[in-house]
Structure 1
Amino acid sequence: MKGLPALVILLASCCHPSSCFNGELAELECPDDCHCHYFRVNWVTDCSDSNLTRIPYDELSPNLYVLDLNNNLIGEVAPFPADFKVRRLQLADNALQELKKESFANLHYLIDADFSHNRITRIDRHAFDDSAGLIHLELQGNPLDQVEGPLISVKSLLYLDVSNCSISKLNEGFFADLTHLSILDLSDNPLVEIDNNVFKPLSGLENLKMNRCNLTHISNGAFSSLSLLKNLELMENNFHATNWDVVFSHLVLLEHIDFRKSGLTSLPSTMFDGNQYCRTLILAENDLAGLDVEATISKLQNLDTLDLSDCNLSLPLSEDAFANVTKIRNLYLSGNTLFASDLLLALSPLTNLHKLSLSNCGLSRLPDTFGKFKSLQELDISHNPLNDAFVKLLAPLETLEYLNMGYSNLSHIQPASFSKMTSMRRLILSGNDLSSLEAGLFGNFTRLESLELNFCGLRRPLNATLFFNNFTYTDLTELQLAGNPLRVSKTGPLLPKQLSRLQTLDLGNCNLTFLPAEAFYWTRNITSLILAGNHFSSPNDLRFLGSLSKLKILDLRYNNLTTFSPKDLSLNPKIEILKLIGNPWKCDCSVANLWDWATLQKGNLELLEGSTITQEDVSVGKVKRKKLLICHYDTGTQAIKIVMNKTVPGRRPFINPTRTIAANRTWAKYVRESGCEQTPTLQRSPRSADQMEHIVDRDGVKISYTKHGPNNWAAAAMNAALAYVTLMATIGIVFILTRKKRSDKAQVDPRDKDN
């Protein structure tokens, strides 16, 4: 047994965080008031919404990957320590007034930085000289002072967002030190006009957004250097003095043009003559009453998508309106007053149509032209005052996969209208008064995947007569019945046997106070159940969950639940997402039990939606806001005293504890401060519970790693010792048995040797 101490030391050293193996990750430093976890193999420190006035450098791990300091009160950034390797820095929604070079001088590994929605008025041009790999920079929502020279010097930058920064003038040197920029967002700045040479340094720019910039004028040569530009967005401006023929003549590679709601009242017929590569043209929400559709778009022979929605078109669509652009597959004409007789002729050449939108066009009848669309897959005729009798004109659309007839004043639909639509995948009938549905209406939808009947005045769920008898609709996996005043029987199944393959069911805002225990007797394959906006007030109202053993997503937001226990989901072992935001939770130990259940038994705190940082919170984008789980103290007249429990695993009290009498606390802070003991059934072995953490990567693969702590080193050493003793005992037994076998063999009679 002399080798035991050496072996114990060897085994213990192999588990040290600095030499982890087999996918194990060591727990790093985490400041008080913050929540830390791994995202893939990268340490994320979430200090958002913590009322911080400074960055707690002394409590941060230098090896952290994401540092989220959004929504705090930080007014100035002290210099980062030299050994910090942070890649993504998020300081959105703070009180910063200036970006100084000395603050970020040591961030050599920085890739993404987000300073959006602060009070920044000045940026040191050389603020990120030490960040040679910085490629994403977000500055939107800051009141920048007028910039006389270059905005900032970052040669590596590919993405820059300076939208809503009060920029009223772009000088010729504004982008001088951003020569590799590929994506630029200047939206929501009062630019009014764009002069020549402003974009001259940006010869590699491919994506330019200038939405809502109050633009009235663009100089003839403003885009002369943007020969590689592929995407141009000019939404919601007020153009009236621009020579579009000249401006667009420089943009020969444009593929996507968006002029939605930009004050256009007329377009020259030669405007798009040089844009032979244009595939998407969006002119929606402009007052183009006198637009000659044929003359304007006839040169765009590669056009795939045309959006003329809400353009107040007054000229009738001529017979040749689309005669020269027959490659159009997606056509949006919604919001214009159209007539079935005009559509009958104008749409005839578009035999390649895949998507057609005629929503809100004032159509009281449909054109009898649908027989020509042999490839039509999506049709939107919603929000039209259709006469029930004309719905039968849709019958020839055998290839249709998506049909939206929502809010079309329908009260009766004959089954014959859908008899040939055997390719249908998604059907929307929401917003029609269909309180009575005719038998066999959905019978031929044998490939139907999604059926939406929201706000249809239904007083009872779907019954078996709507479908073929003794036929299982194997593809029908989604059913939406939200907003119907359902009257549910106290006993019996909610849905018929034909829908046994249903996976997603939306019963939100159905005025439900209960569902019978056998509600899902025939639909036990449901994986996502939405019950948000109802009146469930007690876990006893949720006994029907017991039959849903495959349930993965449960949405109970905005009900009247004050408590919820893990035992209420004991028969739902596959649960992955639990949505509980908006319930009036009481701050008691049931909150801690649910938290422990998610972390210890399920191994994934993200199961409780709203409890941790998500991928959307650490990605490039606009304002990042999180809705967090909140519980309320039933204080009465007495303030609740928080107990700092230092013995329970997972409870890490604050360094400077304070008495709390606030009525609102996030679950994370309540659980951390609470004196609630863990439920015995949730306590697991040291290796499987206290030492193991789990993360889920983008591909849904669960990765396990060891969580090391002071008490776990002793446990590891003890386990190693026990393993050693067991091994020695096994070797001893084998040795004794081997000796005995050899002894017996030596005593065998030589005459039996051959046997």
Structure 2
Amino acid sequence: MKLTASILLTTFLSHVWSFNGELAELECPDDCDCHYFRVNWVTDCSDSNLTRIPYNELSPNVYVLDLNDNFIKEVEPFPPDFKVRRLQLSANLMSELKKESFAGLNYLIDTDFSYNQIRRVDIDAFDDSAGLINLELQGNPLDDVEGPFVAVKSLLYLDISNCSLKRLNDRFFENVTHLATLDLSDNPLFVINNNVFDPLSSLETLKMNNCNLTRIADNAFSALRNLKNLELSGNNLYETNWGVVLENLILLEYIDLRGSGLTHLPDGMFDNNQYLRVLILAENNLAGLNIQQTIGKLQNLDTLDLSDCNLTLPLSEDAFANATKIRNLYLSGNKLFASDLLLALSPLTNLHKLSLSNCGLSHLPDTFDKFKSLQELDISHNPLNDAFVKLLAPLETLEYLNMGYSNLSHLAPDSFSKMTNMRRLILSGNDINNLEAGLFGNLTHLESLELNFCGLRRPLNATLFFNNFTYTDLTELQLAGNPLRVSKTGPLLPKQLSRLQTLDLSNCNLTFLPPEAFYHTRNITNLILSGNHFTSPNDLKFLELLPMLEILDLRYNNLTTFSPKELTLNPNVEKLKLIGNPWRCDCSVANLWDWANLEKGNLGILEGSTLTQEHVSVGKTKRKKLLICNYDTGTQPFTIVMNKTVPGRRPFLNPQRTLTATNRTWAKYVRESGCEQQPSLKRVVRSADGYVSVISEDGIKMRYAKHGPNTWSAAAINAAVVYVTLMAIIGVAFLLTKKRRAAVRMVVTADKRN
């Protein structure tokens, strides 16, 4: 019992040591950046000019191995007991996937080989990966396949889009029978014959967008009785017998036929698809469409998109008479008349979203009093006459209104006076630089106001709102793209906006903001200043008035250096966006890196520093935008020698390094810079009980800044789980031992009596 307890206690302590903010450092190749993502060891060797995988330098316990954007042609066998779960080799020079390359990868779950030059895949390439779920091969020039493609019974997701496939034989999917999602988009297939999809009875999502399809055989989908989502956009399916093709898809809920060359829809096209909830027919030439006969029978239809369908028949009064459950209707891009809309839309009393963007409407239908539930209305990109804006007055339930790019030059002060439920208002793209007093006064529940590209030369002033009233719900203001002229002193915005949290001033041609810019708006948490002309941290003195700041976006300015000292009065910063500035490779980069990594305890604060969730997600092309700095040298190549080791940074196996380019990612520069860590930096370690230990560089440990349970990291939660499990095991063992001793005592007592 004591031995067992000791073993359990040792195991528990090792977990706590691993998870309590002090995860053990594992092997990492010289040309890679390694770190923990949640509790998994990530080795990021992307964009490192590698011609081969550095097998001998890899940790066998790597969870995510990112080798994207290199020059790797061959994948040699991995070391024994290599436990990688996600392997990313996108955008390399591979020409085939061979079985011996992936032998022994028993833990492999996700693979990404997209955008290589792969022409052939061994059918048994992943025989040793019994748990492989996701396989991404999009963007490879695959040769035609005779017989089965790959044999992976566990596979659920297969992406072979844009692979130059011209034909699918009847046995192609024979050994991937458990597929749930299949993407065949962007292959020149032209025709889908019968029997191709027969093995895929479990398929739920099928994507065949932009496949040059002209015909789908009548029984091509006969085995897909579990199919729920079907995407066929961007084809030319004029030879397809839709009534027969769709009749077996009785569970279909979503179908996308956008831009598929449809000119006529048969009356019974969707008769067997009564579960259909989303129907997208946009960008087809359906000039003679009779909506009532083809779509009106879908009594469960929730969303209908008829945008850009060249509708020429007037919308009849009974067009939607039998489809009254429609809540989201998109009619944008069709030439419509207010008089037709007045009658056709009247049965849709449950309408929540209505899009009439770019419909050539010079005035609005006087019918909005019937839409008692309408919450979102898009009438943008119409040549509206200013005088007809007042017809929107009955929409007292409206929460979202988009009037962007509608040729508006004047808005009367009472335009929105009755829309007291309005939460988001978009007026972008109108030349309304002279806003009248009181215009936004009654919008007391407004949360977001968008005035991008309105020609504004000065920010909003106090007269637009009620005097002495704080708009407590107005938390987002967008003023991007306005040629603002900012005074050298004084506040930027009025005190009515004191609860503002998000402010977008991107692309406003700003070179500075006065130190008092945010005197009235000190609750801002998200400040967007990207695309301006800030050149020096001295231009950012206004940050001192933003103690609540969490996100600072300074992308694509002209900054060459930035110091953690600029954020001394912004202790809550959790995201710093600095990509796209001409950073110098000097110790200021290392100081900022150490500040995020040690003092803040989260390197992810620096956007573009390491891998994030979006870079390891299935179904996307992984192209990271990283923080880049440049060495101040004009010679290439040049050599740097690592003659000292900085505490906390992994030493190089080869201390003399020849660089072929002056630009470096921040992660690589910090490691090779040799810059000393600032003595004022403290390392933050979170414990499972919600406390924080702050450890200075001299080893002094200061306890404890209390955090609530919602700030626990995944590591702390794992430690807590291990602790609870340990206590449970010890408790059960104690009870069993106690019960056993009681039984022994009973036997001894009985013996004595006898």
Output the TM-score relative to the length of structure 1.
0.88
Map of 1:666 onto structure 2: 665
Map of 2:397 onto structure 1: 399
Check conservation: 1:272, 1:297, Cα contact below 8 A.
Answer: yes
Cα distance in 2, alignment partners of residues 423 and 683 from structure 1: 48
1:688 matches 2:687: no
Check conservation: 2:19, 2:715, Cα contact below 8 A.
Answer: no
Map of 1:200 onto structure 2: 198
Q: CA deviation at 1:399?
A: 0.6
2:504 to 496, 500, 506: 506
Q: CA deviation at 1:683?
A: 5.8
Map of 2:690 onto structure 1: none
Cα distance in 2, alignment partners of residues 637 and 81 from structure 1: 38
Question: Deviation string for 1:368-407 (max 9, x for gaps)?
Answer: 0000000000000000000000000000001100000000
Cα distance in 2, alignment partners of residues 484 and 420 from structure 1: 28
Map of 1:676 onto structure 2: 675
1:116 to 93, 114, 117: 114
Q: What SS does the aligned partner of 1:160 have?
A: strand
Check conservation: 1:643, 1:674, Cα contact below 8 A.
Answer: no
Check conservation: 2:106, 2:128, Cα contact below 8 A.
Answer: yes
Map of 1:330 onto structure 2: 328
Stretch of structure 1 that moved more, 401-410 or 288-297: 288-297
Letter in 2 for 1:133: G
Question: Deviation string for 1:716-753 (max 9, x for gaps)?
Answer: xxxxxxxxxxxxxxxxxxxxxxxxxxxxxxxxxxxxxx
Q: What SS does the aligned partner of 1:403 have?
A: strand
- Structure 1 residues 18, 475: CA separation in 2 closer, same or farther (over 3 Å shift)? closer
Q: CA deviation at 1:420?
A: 1.2
Check conservation: 1:65, 1:85, Cα contact below 8 A.
Answer: yes
- Structure 1 residues 136, 595: CA separation in 2 closer, same or farther (over 3 Å shift)? same
2:523 to 522, 525, 529: 525
Q: Which has the larger radius of gyration?
A: 1
Map residues 79-90 of structure 1 onto 2, 5 A cutoff. Answer: 79-90=77-88
Map of 2:366 onto structure 1: 368
Cα distance in 2, alignment partners of residues 302 and 116 from structure 1: 39
Map of 1:103 onto structure 2: 101
Cα distance in 2, alignment partners of residues 415 and 179 from structure 1: 63
Letter in 2 for 1:304: D
2:513 to 508, 512, 515: 515
Map of 1:731 onto structure 2: none
Cα distance in 2, alignment partners of residues 281 and 363 from structure 1: 25
Check conservation: 2:33, 2:668, Cα contact below 8 A.
Answer: no
Stretch of structure 1 that moved more, 22-31 or 476-485: 22-31
Q: What SS does the aligned partner of 1:102 have?
A: helix
Q: What SS does the aligned partner of 2:538 have?
A: helix
1:702 to 688, 695, 713: 713
Question: Deviation string for 1:91-130 (max 9, x for gaps)?
Answer: 1111111111111120111111111111111111111111
- Structure 1 residues 344, 478: CA separation in 2 closer, same or farther (over 3 Å shift)? same
- Structure 1 residues 338, 649: CA separation in 2 closer, same or farther (over 3 Å shift)? same
Check conservation: 2:103, 2:126, Cα contact below 8 A.
Answer: yes
Cα distance in 2, alignment partners of residues 427 and 201 from structure 1: 50
Map residues 146-225 of structure 1 onto 2, 5 A cutoff. Answer: 146-225=144-223
Map residues 19-38 of structure 1 onto 2, 5 A cutoff. Answer: 20=18, 24-38=22-36
1:584 to 582, 585, 589: 582
Q: Which runs of 5+ in 2 are unaligned?
A: 1-8, 686-693, 702-706, 717-754
Check conservation: 2:599, 2:684, Cα contact below 8 A.
Answer: no
2:536 to 535, 538, 544: 538
Cα distance in 2, alignment partners of residues 39 and 327 from structure 1: 45
Q: CA deviation at 1:60?
A: 1.3
2:262 to 261, 264, 268: 264
Check conservation: 2:31, 2:48, Cα contact below 8 A.
Answer: yes
Cα distance in 2, alignment partners of residues 616 and 19 from structure 1: 29
1:226 to 221, 224, 227: 224
Letter in 1 for 2:58: L
Q: What SS does the aligned partner of 1:599 have?
A: helix
Map of 1:740 onto structure 2: none
Cα distance in 2, alignment partners of residues 148 and 427 from structure 1: 57
- Structure 1 residues 331, 638: CA separation in 2 closer, same or farther (over 3 Å shift)? closer
Q: CA deviation at 1:633?
A: 2.6
Question: Deviation string for 1:485-521 (max 9, x for gaps)?
Answer: 1111111111111111100000001111111101101
Output the TM-score relative to the length of structure 2.
0.89
Cα distance in 1, alignment partners of residues 15 and 396 from structure 2: 62
Cα distance in 2, alignment partners of residues 537 and 596 from structure 1: 23
Instruction: Quote the RMSD (CA, aligned, Å).
Output: 2.2
Q: What SS does the aligned partner of 2:61 have?
A: coil
Map of 1:458 onto structure 2: 456
Cα distance in 2, alignment partners of residues 663 and 53 from structure 1: 20
Check conservation: 1:645, 1:653, Cα contact below 8 A.
Answer: no
Check conservation: 2:215, 2:238, Cα contact below 8 A.
Answer: yes
Map of 2:546 onto structure 1: 548
Letter in 2 for 1:412: H
Cα distance in 2, alignment partners of residues 545 and 135 from structure 1: 47
Check conservation: 2:39, 2:714, Cα contact below 8 A.
Answer: no
Cα distance in 2, alignment partners of residues 166 and 659 from structure 1: 40
Stretch of structure 1 that moved more, 608-617 or 667-676: 667-676
Q: CA deviation at 1:324?
A: 1.1
Map residues 236-385 of structure 1 onto 2, 5 A cutoff. Answer: 236-385=234-383
Q: What SS does the aligned partner of 1:103 have?
A: helix
Stretch of structure 1 that moved more, 20-29 or 528-537: 20-29
Stretch of structure 1 that moved more, 361-370 or 289-298: 289-298
Q: Which runs of 5+ in 1 are unaligned?
A: 1-10, 706-755
Letter in 2 for 1:82: P
Alignment length (residue pairs): 691
Letter in 2 for 1:185: D
Cα distance in 2, alignment partners of residues 636 and 147 from structure 1: 50
Q: CA deviation at 1:618?
A: 1.0
